[in-house]
């Protein structure tokens, strides 16, 4: 068992990010059993869940004439336009059916504001609108977090970098993550995490 000051955060293990989903990450389903086993070693378990309205401005479908995986400008900076995914109330937004969600004490839903995307478990993509996760972890006495889930180079990396910036000791279990790797995004994310002192193991 990990000490009570450690928490595990399971990032976006949802149907749309697994094979057959709208934004499938290769091998996304392969990590579920390992995550289930690891959750049992922590007294604080948090799940995150992408939870987009259908009209979300990060969806290419909502920008006529644009293609998925291209960039657009948002008030908070550059934004990848994604295929529509994890739409509220759809099967794609559900957790992978094999994920033991009963282990979690908290579920953080993110990306529900239509005008701003949210990769990190801690902040929206403006890097200033909080999700409330930091306060929850501090109230539980958590000082160290382990991150697993999907995808390594986006939601996991953004969460890890924010956690490190907030002063948590951060570990990313690469064996229990999978990446999208969009135009070198995995190498860039790994470099940023290592530079921030994150243990990518």
User: Encoding tokens for residue 132?
Assistant: 């409330």
Active site residue 110: yes
The reported pTM is 0.96
Active site residue 153: no
pLDDT tens by residue, 116-156? 999 999 999 999 999 999 999 999 999 999 999 999 999 99
Tell me which of 6, 18, 110, 117 is the catalytic residue: 110
pLDDT tens by residue, 6-34? 999 999 999 999 999 999 999 999 999 99
Active site residue 100: no
Give the residue among 94, 104, 174 at the shortest CA–CA distance from 133: 104
Judge whether 127 and 135 are in contact, CB under 8 Å: no
């Amino acid at each position: 068992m990990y000490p009570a000051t450690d928490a595990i955060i399971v990032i976006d293990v949802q149907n749309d990010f697994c094979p057959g989903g709208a934004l499938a990450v290769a091998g996304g389903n392969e990590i579920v059993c390992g995550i289930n086993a690891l959750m049992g070693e922590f007294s604080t378990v948090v799940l995150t869940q992408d939870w987009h309205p259908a009209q979300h401005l990060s969806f290419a479908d909502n920008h006529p004439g644009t293609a998925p995986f291209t960039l657009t400008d948002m008030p908070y900076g550059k934004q990848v336009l994604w295929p529509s995914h994890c739409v509220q109330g759809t099967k794609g937004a559900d957790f992978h059916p094999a994920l033991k969600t009963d282990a979690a004490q908290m579920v953080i839903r993110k990306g529900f504001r239509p005008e701003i995307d949210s990769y990190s478990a801690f902040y929206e993509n403006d890097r200033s609108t909080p999700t409330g996760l930091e306060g929850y972890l501090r109230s539980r006495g958590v000082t160290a977090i382990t991150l697993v889930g999907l995808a390594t180079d986006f939601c996991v990396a953004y969460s890890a970098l924010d956690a490190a910036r907030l002063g948590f000791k951060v570990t990313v279990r690469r064996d229990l993550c999978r990446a999208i790797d969009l135009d070198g995004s995995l190498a860039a994310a790994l470099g940023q995490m290592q530079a921030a002192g994150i243990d990518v193991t």
